[in-house]
Amino acid sequence: MSRLEHVHFIGIGGSGMSAIAKVMVEMGYRVSGSDIQEHEITKQLQTQGVKFYSSHQAENVQGADIVVYSSGIPEDNVELISANQKEIPLLHRSEALAQLLNQKEGIAVTGAHGKTTTSSMISLMLSRAGLDPTFVIGGEILDFGYNAKAGASEYVIAEADESDGSFLQYFPKHAIITNIEADHLENYKGDFENLKEAYLQFVHQIKPQGTLIYCQDDPINQELISRKEIQEILLERKIEILSYAIDSENSNIRAKNLLLSNRSVQCQVWDREQLLGELCLNVPGKHNLLNALASICLGLKLHVPFHLMQEALKGFVGAKRRFQVVSEARDILIVDDYAHHPTEIMATIEAAKSTGRKMYVVFQPQRYTRTYFLLEAFSHAFAEADQVIIANIYSPAGEVPIKGVSGSELACKIEKNSNKNTIFVPNYKEIVDYLIQSTCPGDLILTMGAGDIWKVAYQLKEYYHNIE
């Protein structure tokens, strides 16, 4: 890639693709890209000099030295076909990111949950410490106002996505595994053991004399790290193992004396038997505290003073769509979150309960396959909500519906198994109307899902701000 001049991105408006494009522009490459519509991300890229095409056309790839595409681009895309015909080298998004990360001191964050927040915390922390990292994040870091940046140092921070196996493109110096759960099994032949094997391979790819950081509270993490083959490879390659936890007493870094309050967390941070100091987060929930502990583990490895980590993490306001406060007009708190897995949903609802408000949860399932594999777990994930509203399944183009898997079926299962106050409302306008009629000052509306359910939160924001 060092010899390339012009890189073209098919589907440049996606969060992952736009992040890589932004970094490559800042590194001096000539960048172009196409997408089916122009929006805020593509407008920002254009201000940086990116040539943007608002439709997919074969001629868009003309003159490109390399073409980058994502998993969402179908094989019959005209630009993909044109690049093949012109024999222009093609790179999957993960391969392009791997080119950036593998050649430097890569920091890869993987796991079922917490990748974006942990990567964002690390990026902010190292930036505040003056280490000037390059970072490529799947979601916008609200503290910066963007999701990627080309830094001057050797550090490159990125999310390593296990969902499609693309994290096996990375050979990091430092790796963090937040947690491991049975998700995205459609990409692992429906077998959790295959997903575990992929994580084992990822550990094998950490560079010699590197670092493996993992959450010791996670039982699957514990199971994999304790395997003889992993212990042998880590010892042979002189890879340091660091753990963090809230509950496990023998971890390297542990939080004690927790105080969970309205949209914040306070605790003491201990390095084995040594008290490092107090930590205050202005993002809620134990899950965010675990993300912060992972960041602290890495910071200590990189010799970042604890007081600088304290300051950076206290100022961290979150990543976009990660318990993002959208509005507080008329004392109705509207929060949007990306949670789309049962564990994430329960963690987000637990964090929301710290507000003390009556909670209306609006959830949009994503993909028929995920809903099928996790239907039973989903049905038990909403017990702590006061009111649950389930929308239609958000499905990418081309996914074949599965008989018996639907938003209405999920609502019935939740009502039966965990929360009687559950309804199915397929239409966004009907959801908005229902919430306007049902909620009162002092209530909380929480929209959740990996699709476009965030639109409900912003429609409500517009309504409440207009009547203030």
Alpha-helix residue ranges (DSSP H) falling in 302-341: 306-315
Q: Is 236 a catalytic residue?
A: no
Q: Rounded distance, CA 435 to CA 460, Å? A: 8
Q: Is 256 a catalytic residue?
A: no
Token digits of residue 33: 């890209």
Token digits of residue 221: 């993490």
- Dihedral in degrees, nearest 10, Cα atoms 300, 303, 309, 310: 80
Neighbours of 360 (CB within 10 A): 23
Side chain identity, residue 313: L
Token digits of residue 468: 């203030």
| Nearest CA-CA partner of 321 in 153, 444, 137 | 137
Q: Rounded distance, CA 340 to CA 131, Å? A: 33
Q: Rounded distance, CA 8 to CA 63, Å? A: 9
Q: Rounded distance, CA 171 to CA 405, Å? A: 38
Collapsing DSSP states into helix, strand and coil, what is residue 169?
Answer: helix
Q: Which candidate in 115, 149, 173, 286 is catalytic?
A: 115
Residue whose entry in the numeric block shows the structure tokens 């966004």? 428
Residue 187, CB-side half-sphere exposure with 13 Å CA sphere: 17
Residue 462 in contact with residue 455, Cβ under 8 Å? no
| Nearest CA-CA partner of 258 in 287, 222, 229, 219 | 287
b/e burial code for range 49-62 (CB count within 10 A of at least 16 → b): ebebbeebeeebbe
Query: What string of DSSP letters covers 67-90?
Result: EEE-TTS-TT-HHHHHHHHTT--E
Phi, psi (degrees; rounded to nearest 5) at 315:
-85, -5
Q: Which candidate in 42, 110, 116, 422 is catalytic?
A: 116
Going by DSSP bridges, is the β-strand pair 134-141/146-149 parallel, antiparallel, or unpaired? antiparallel
| Residue 393 DSSP symbol | P
Q: Is 75 a catalytic residue?
A: no
Collapsing DSSP states into helix, strand and coil, what is residue 244?
Answer: strand
Q: Which candidate in 140, 159, 181, 344 is catalytic?
A: 159
Query: What string of DSSP letters covers 175-231?
Result: EEE----S--GGGTTT-HHHHHHHHHHHHHTSPTT-EEEEETT-HHHHHHHTSHHHH
Q: Rounded distance, CA 83 to CA 58, Å? A: 8
Which residues are identified as catalytic? 115-116, 159
